[in-house]
Amino acid sequence: MPNSEEPSRTHEHALSQLRYIRSTMDGATRFTAVPGTGMAVIGLTALVAAALAQAQTTRDGMLLVWVGEAVAAAGVGLAALVLKSRRAGVDLARGSARKFVLALMPSGICAAAVSLALAVHEQTTLIPAVWLTGYGSAVIAAGTHSVPTVPIMGAAFVVAGLAALFVTPQFQNALLALSFGGIHIAFGIHIARHHGG
């Protein structure tokens, strides 16, 4: 009797070991998905954008500079994510890395849509707050698939966004510089030093 049960037990053992390997690999990639160095570079480009935005004579000009910065930052972030994943041998289309990228999207898309609506209705003073809270929420959501530092960084952006609701428009550029620049640089360096680049 025990002999007839052995193939089944062996099969179960092999399946169980493979499941364990897969879940462990998935868990381990939490340490590799977020590119700290890339985030620090995004912070530096944000500081450059803030200086350019400050030189604009109109509010629309200032916001357009930041839109350009968002596009540049997305490019830098994506390139850094791909480079770091390749170096670590992580497939971005699978596991935690995929979940991380997908989790960024809902809040990001909503923030973009609300910003567009506010621009159409000429309510542009609210746009920086929407960017910061939207980006912060996206990072918090994505951070659940990453190291604990990432959701904390997202929360910092949400706090900055809430502050942006109440500061006068002339301080909004400084607040964007402090958050998109300062928070990215500080957390980027921390992640690069403690979580593999």
Partner 1 sequence: MIGRLRDEGGAEVFRLVNERVRLGILSALAVTEYLSFAELKQTLGVTDGNLSIHARKLEEAKFITCEKTFQDRRPLTQYTLTPRGRAAFERYLGHMEALIEAMRKPT
- Token pair recorded at residue 141: 């959501």
For the bound state, the minimum distance from the C-beta of residue 193 to partner 1, rounded and expressed in Å, comes to: 7
Site string for partner 1, 118-147 (x = CB under 8 A): ------------------------------
For the bound state, the minimum distance from the C-beta of residue 192 to partner 1, rounded and expressed in Å, comes to: 12
Among 4, 5, 18, 121, binds partner 1 (CB under 8 A): 18
Residue 17 binds to partner 1 (criterion: CB under 8 A): yes
Stretch that binds partner 1, among 49-57, 71-79, 84-92, 163-171 (CB under 8 A): 84-92
- Other beta carbons within 10 angstroms of residue 129's beta carbon come to 20
Site string for partner 1, 29-58 (x = CB under 8 A): xxxx--------------------------
Stretch that binds partner 1, among 11-19, 48-56, 130-138, 166-174 (CB under 8 A): 11-19
Residue 10 binds to partner 1 (criterion: CB under 8 A): yes
- Other beta carbons within 10 angstroms of residue 77's beta carbon come to 18
Is 178:164 a contact under the CB 8 Å cutoff?
no
122: left (phi over 0), alpha (psi -120 to 50) or beta: left
Q: Which alpha helices (DSSP H) does the chain contain, by range?
A: 2-28, 36-54, 59-88, 95-120, 127-143, 149-164, 169-176, 184-194
